[in-house]
Each structure stands twice: as C-alpha cells, then as structure tokens.
Structure 1
C-alpha cells in the first residue's frame, strides 16, 4: 500500500482509504461490512472515513466495532459533522458550536476511540459565522478529541477564509473531501489550485463514480440485480446522474485502455484519480471483500502520459468541469420539523 502525506501536513495516510458512506448500517449487512473492513486491513489500508450522518449514526457504530482491537496508533480514523442526525431538529445539524461539540462526543462514543485523526466539516454552513465554527473546531483540537481539521465540498473562497482563521487559531486545517473522478472534475479549475497553494490535500470520494466506471452498467440495458443502481436506500439516487447511455457508452470505450495497461476498469479509474498531485487519498467503498482488493491494487500505479491522453479523448464529451457545481447546501433545506 502506498503511503502519502495528507496535504503538506506530517500526517501520513494510505493512498486508498476505506469509506462506508452507502454501505455500513444501510446497504449491506454487518457481517459483510466487517468482512470488508478486515480485507481493507489485510490490503494495508490504514485510513478509514465515515460520518455521523451515514445511516443516521449506524455507520460509525459498525466501523467502531469492525476496528475494535486494532492498534489505534496504526489507524487514521476520519469522520464528519454537518448533516442532520437523530430526529433532525433545529440544532441537530449545521456547524454551530453547540452541534460540533455535541457531535464530536457522539462520534467518539460510536467509534470506540478517544480521538479522531481528522474531523471534517461535511458542508459549509451558511447560517453560522465561520469564526464560530472554526473556534469550536479549535476547542475540539485543544481538548485532544481531534488531531486535524478538514472540510468537504467547500468552495475555494470558503476554504481560503477557513485556512486564514485556522492559522490565526493555530490549528491544522489540512484537507478537503470533494467528489472527483474521470467524469466529475469540477475541482480542477479552482479548488485544486487554491488547496495546492495552501498546503491542503484532497481526500476524494466516488473515484469510480458510484460504480459506473467499473463498466458493469451497459448502455441500453437494465442495471444488474443487486447493484447500487437498484438500491432503494440511497444508492440509486446517487448514481443516477451517470446512468445515461451517452456516459455508459463512453465508459465502455475505456475497457481496451484498461486492458492494455493491465488493469481492471475500477483500478484504472482509481489510479487516474491518484495521478493528481493534490490528491492525498481516494476513498473506496465496497459491499464485498473482493471489491476492496481490486480497488486497493490501484495504489502505486503510474499511468503514462499517453494513457492519460487516451482516457481524456474517450471521456471528454461527457466530463463535467463546471466549478459552480460545488454548491453550498442551504441549511434551511435540512429542517425536518
């Protein structure tokens, strides 16, 4: 397993991180989830990413049980705060001081640890002063409950201001967690240059576009039974943007490129993400242990310039590059009652 620094910080993480966004506590049974974590550890993955909102806190609990008994110093555990948890009332979401300080305690309890390696703001909060948010994160760090701070899906101007405040507060803001893959490159024009300048690394999610870049979805055909595109617990909604025949046809044209490189389709997609020098890690998810092993073998792969050019020529007509697609979530939209 390739090991990289997270941004310009001294924290070292596995280039492949294991995430449980749509799986633990939701899409797969706990026994299968535990098997996937065990396989991740066997493959040398040391970095595990989750969030309190995943399966409404259940994903954190499953991950905590899966990692129980492992040497804590040998792991990097990431989680996040922002989205509604519990009953979703007015203080059950956002980045207020109240929600952050209460949420970190809940996450620590569920994960069975006394500290989080990277605590991330899952989205930007338009209803809370950024100063309040960053001061709360500073307290979390000074209390020893989190070692580093990160953000997720923030716009470049938001990242820059948070970084300025973090420097004033003397806390380490080291990462951004955006969606990034062959088909979705909205971070490249603005977010990546900003983060590279500030020493902030990308820990990217959806490197295989929710499974579309594995090539298992064929144009003009129904999705395979049991695949993410048929999951009514959230998976089908998330993958929907890619389930167009023009996209699926282009993806199929990547197969000979992967074959010539001696890679599976999934490995090609993950390896492509890791070629970006601002990417510190790619988060993979899995419902079966063999998927973990397949994706993990993309670590350390170097794609030649001609391979990268061939990939771009195939997918260019269906690539999304518009930086405005990184959008702030309005907290008023999250209220449930």
Structure 2
C-alpha cells in the first residue's frame, strides 16, 4: 500500500519541487528608469457601487504621471448604482465610464479595450485596491522586458480566525504556483485582478476565449499567448505592483468563487496545466479516501499518514518560501489543520462546480 501511495504522489511531488525551484529563484524587480508608456486601466464591474470608489481613490494616489494613463470603468449590466459611483468620482486622471456592449466579464473587457488609447492594457477588479507604485512599476517592467503579458501579485485582505486565514493561505499558495511556473517559462495560472498585456497580443490571441463559460477571461488569454513561443509571459515580483482584493465573507461565497475557477478547467488544452491539475486531484482524492478508510479500519492509518506527510513536505517548503516573501509567516500555524481540511475542500469545490451557478 505504501508503494501505491508513493507511485500516485510522484507526479505531484515532481511538479511541486519544480515549481518551488522556480519560485525560490525569483528576484524582486526594482524600477530602473521612469517609464513613458501610456497605460489603459480597464475595470469590468457588476454591482460594485460600494467597492468601486475605494479602487478609484487608490488610483488617485498613483505616483505615475496622471497624463500617462486612463481608467475605463465598464459597467456590466449592474442592478445598483455602479455607474453613478464612477461618475461621481473626481479624479486626477482621465476617467471613462462606459456600458458593456454585451453580457459578462469577457465582453466587458472587450468593450473596454475598444475604447482604450494605450498599447499596454492593465485589468483590475472593482473590489480591489492598488499600491501607489502599481502603474509606474508595471509600466517600467514592460518598458524593460517587452513582455506580451505581465502577471502581477494579488493579496487577500487580512481577517481573523481559521476561515479567512485558510483563504489567505490557499491564495498565497496559488500565487506561488503562478509565479513559480511563470518563472519556469511554463505559466499555468494568472489572475485578471492584476494582469497586464499588450493590445496587439489581445487582438491576436483573444479569438477563442470560450465565451460559453462565464469565467476564464484571464486564463484562456494566457494559454493562447503561451502557444506563441515568440511572445513572453513574465511574473512581476514587486511589492509596489501588488493589488489587494477582498476575501470572501462567507464559506458559501468562497466556495462559489473557487467553483467558478475550477469549472473552466475541463476546457483547458494546455498539457502542463492539465497535468498539474490531474496530479493534484489524484493526490487529494487518495488522501481523502485513505482518511475515511482509516477511520473504519486502522490498517489504513499507516498509508494515510505516509500520504499525508509525503505530500506535506513540498507543500510546506513552497508555503514557507511564499509566506516569507509575502510577509505572512504567521499563517504557517494553520498549515497542518489546513492540510487535513484541504482534500475535502477540493472535493466540495468540484461538486459545486458541477451543480452550482457560474455567474461572476
């Protein structure tokens, strides 16, 4: 039984050690020169009357010349006063408020890009806030590296108790995987909450974004760009470039968000991404199965413990490096409780993704 455990875990271990190596070798980016790139910030939003003003205010505090960027708020058929909240904001920068020409986040981004004057497009979610050096760092990095897509860090707002800490711990692990795979020149994830790409790359690689799916505006674009080996997709490691977004306030909303993310996984055609997802799924299913079996029959306790501790080694190494990088080492006290809960959490998300609503 122990040998079977090791065989099933081997692909997962190989992926994780490779990702950890990629993440550990990332160096922080520091701005070298003042960028001159004109940037178009696109904010797709739906029913964000309360959150949007906070983001627009944080954009007022940018250290980037306000004449070098514009902000385009795209209202996606909101039922509240999202448009009014945007129009009432007095900004230092050029602010455009438009309505989505269709429905859904993907079409909202398309509508924004049609109005954009800049070649460099930066997307951000309305329920987020940005650091003062956000745009200047992204623009400088783009000017230095000339990447077709720039993946930048996203952090969750801090909360108290196991549930919000579990969210943050998982989110940091996803950021580490995102950064590590991108640094290995084989990105598997990105987050539209903090994503930059060129207008040319979007026009060329956005013809197949799976419009039948509500989510995936970021991931499908990234996978399409990734197929073009002449284009670069880079991770931007900089505290100045971080975006902070709100954690889900309830377990139900948190599971729904993750279910939306995972519901599109069946439409991926990137082999490396599919391999990582499959190896992770096999590892958590085996761990959950052995845990249940060990409760009814203690003969299965040794293989469960073997699986638990072997899987925990690369997980902990990656999270140790990541929490240190993101200034959240206090979260490590929840590592082992989270490891016990995680398999069942993943299974709950999979079930919800199959039977639940997928609206953004």
Normalising by structure 2, report the TM-score.
Answer: 0.28
Looking at secondary structure, tell me which structure has more helix per residue. 2
TM-score for the superposition, normalised by structure 1: 0.29
| Structure number, greater radius of gyration | 2
